Each structure stands twice: as C-alpha cells, then as structure tokens.
Copies of this chain bind each other. A is one copy, B any other.
Amino acid sequence: MLELAILGLLQEAPMHGYELRKELTAKLGAIRAAISYGSLYPTLRRLQAAGWITEAAETPATAEEVPALTSRRGRVVYTITAEGKERFAQLIAQTGPETYGDTGFGVHFAFFSRTDRATRLRILEGRRRTIEERREGLRDMLGRAAERLDAYTLELQRHGLEACEREVRWLEELIANERSGRAPTVPNDGTAGGRREDNSPPPPGESRKERP
C-alpha cells in the first residue's frame, strides 16, 4: 500500500522524505493517521533497490554561491523512474481482496484521477460488495446473537452497522456518477446541483481503521 502511495505521489513531483510524509498525510488524512518514518524510509530503500525510484543528495545550488561553510545538511530527493511509472500503472490497475479493505480502498481511491474508468468501477463495486457483507454480518449479530452481547458491544455494532449502510449509499452514488460519465460527485456549490438533505448524518469512522 505504501509503495503504491509513494509511487503515486512522486509522479507529481520529486520530493524528499519529510515532504513525502506530509503530502502522504494530506492525501490520505481521511483514512489513516500519519505514515510512520519507520515504514517510510525502509520502503523508500526498497523502491530504490528495485529501481522504481532514484535518490540523489540535494545539490547546494552552484557551489559558487554560499560556499557552504555550514555544510548543507543531507537532504535526499527521490525521483520516480520510467520503470517506477510502469510499476505504478500496474499496481493501480490490479485489484484483489486487499483492494477492498479499508486502507487499500482508501489509497486506491485517492489515486482515482490516475485510474481508468473501468478499474474505478471495478474497485467501487468490489468495495460495495465487501461493505455489504460486513453489513449483513452485523445485521445477523444484532438480530440473532443480540442477547449474548452486553449493551456497549451492541451499541458498537449498531454504530458500525449504520456506518456500513451509509458507506454503501455513498458508493452507490459514486458508481452512478461513474456510469453517467461525470467525475466524482459535483462539489455542491451550495444550491444548484443539489441533493436535498446532503449535510445530514454521514457514516462514522468506518472508512479508516486500520490500522486495523
């Protein structure tokens, strides 16, 4: 997952580690807290070894200017290679069970603007399927096994169920939009394009975890 995200970001511009982490956090802020350096740097090393990216110490301009008495500290800038772009295209197009999990889906979705429509639809539908199954599991739990669970656990399930229902609705909308040709939901500019009660209850924290 991290590999995909890094490759995707470096495709927009070369960056050094710290910057990469910030951009990563910005782009994926909705689905996961913050990428740890403990995963970022080893992954960068791995990508470089595989030839998907190259790393280069930042050059201190022309060396003429500011002769670097304060020897410029080692900032390492990472750049994606042609093979890396290929790799990204391959990763973004291939879907599997992990694509539909909370984290996997979030990362794929964040790069939908670099994904072709057919793949987008495949992912959205797979995700919907996954959430529908989770929803059915929770429904069963709340129906059949309810008396075996305490009130708090029940409340947690109820909350989770609601989140599932809400996400399915969201996905349905996105799927309809994809089919009808437009990009994601048209940003509601207040009035015109409107859905009526749009800013009522959304799904609670369900599309992340994961950190589960």
The interface-forming segment of A52-60, A84-92, A144-152 is A144-152
Residue A207, interface by CB 8 Å: yes
- Interface residue ranges, A against B (CB under 8 Å): 26-27, 29-33, 101-103, 106, 109-113, 131, 134, 137-139, 141-143, 145-147, 149-157, 159-167, 169-170, 174, 183-188, 198-212
Given the complex, which residues of B lie within 8 Å of A137, measured CB to CB? 29
Chain A interface mostly: helix
* C-alpha gap A113/B155 in the complex (Å): 12
Q: How many copies does the complex hold?
A: 2
* Shortest Cβ distance from A108 into B: residue: B152
7 interchain residue pairs of minimum CB distance = A162-B202, A30-B160, A112-B152, A32-B212, A167-B204, A155-B184, A113-B150
* C-alpha gap A186/B152 in the complex (Å): 9
Given the complex, which residues of B lie within 8 Å of A174, measured CB to CB? 155
* Shortest Cβ distance from A28 into B: residue: B156
Tell whether, in the assembled complex, residue A156 and residue B31 are in contact, meaning their CB atoms are under 8 Å apart.
Answer: yes
Given contacts A31-B160, A102-B210, A150-B198, 5 further A-B contacts (CB under 8 A): A29-B157, A109-B152, A111-B152, A112-B150, A159-B207
24 contacting pairs across A/B (C-beta < 8 A) = A26-B141, A29-B157, A29-B160, A30-B160, A31-B156, A33-B134, A33-B212, A102-B208, A102-B209, A102-B210, A103-B210, A103-B211, A110-B153, A110-B156, A113-B153, A147-B200, A147-B207, A151-B183, A151-B187, A152-B188, A161-B202, A162-B202, A163-B203, A166-B204
